[in-house]
Amino acid sequence: MVFGRGLRPLSIASAALLTSAFALVFFYAPNDADQGFVQKIFYLHVPLAIVALCGFVAGGVYGLRYLRSGDRAHDLRSYVSIHLSLVLAVGALLTGSIWAKASWGHWWVWQEPTLVSFLIVFLLYACYQPLRFSIEDPERQARYAAVFAVVAGAFVPLNFMAVRMAESLTHPRVLSTTGGAMPGSMRLTFLVALAGMACLFVTLCKYELASKHASMQLRRLKRRLAGDEGLVPLERSAAPQRL
């Protein structure tokens, strides 16, 4: 199994898409009528959040596939997907906070269901790595992490529903209601930014998968050459270390 296939075209594609997205953001998309220039953080914040959520759900799907098949490659995919989504989620929370400060005057706004549910989802997934780290047996680690990923993946939509019901609606509904009202130039920019972010996520996933897989193979080769005694014992890790 080769994880590194197609890395070069993917890298080029995400670089090209992101560059053109930012070019569009600064030179093509009009300033928002109410918020002015500040609103342009939207083209970074919303793709980050959407891609992170999709990554979390993808982690759950791979977890389910691992539970069904027992194929450790799915566990690795699930881990990498959730790991990188966590990184993007930090970015989404930071940009969301900056946007909230700029447009509503506060760093954190509780009347904002999307931001609040995102924080809850982030807090839940932040336990994923500690959970993996505190289980030593690799097979059990993979199985338990997959159960967590499946449950948490199902939690994401339910949580968004509950929080949205509890709060008033002040957040711009980019995809449902206001999406229709977005002018064409803004929508084009947003779609390019979203595609770029998704492409970047896939590329990063592939890079991490390839790197993890390469170090596993290196270890296997070392063992074949030097035998078990010649190997440095594996340190405990949250990441899967064997396929």
Give how far Cα 34 sits from Cα of 8, 14, 39, 49, 177, Å: 41, 31, 9, 23, 17
> From CA 194, how far away is CA 202, in angstroms rounded?
12
Cβ neighbours, 10 Å, residue 137: 9
Give ∠ CA 243-83-59 in degrees, rounded to 5. Answer: 70
Q: With respect to another protein, which residue has the nearer C-beta, 143 or 187?
A: 143
CB of 127 to another protein, least distance (A): 5
CB of 160 to another protein, least distance (A): 10
Q: Which residues bind another protein (CB under 8 A)?
A: 67, 120-121, 123-124, 127, 130-131, 134-136, 140, 143-144, 146-148, 150-152, 154-155, 158-159, 161-163, 165-166
Rg of the chain in Å (alpha carbons): 20
**Percent helix, strand and coil across the chain, each to the nearest 5:** 75, 0, 25
Q: With respect to another protein, which residue has the nearer C-beta, 148 or 201?
A: 148
Q: With respect to another protein, which residue has the nearer C-beta, 120 or 210?
A: 120
> From CA 48, how far away is CA 198, in angstroms rounded?
9
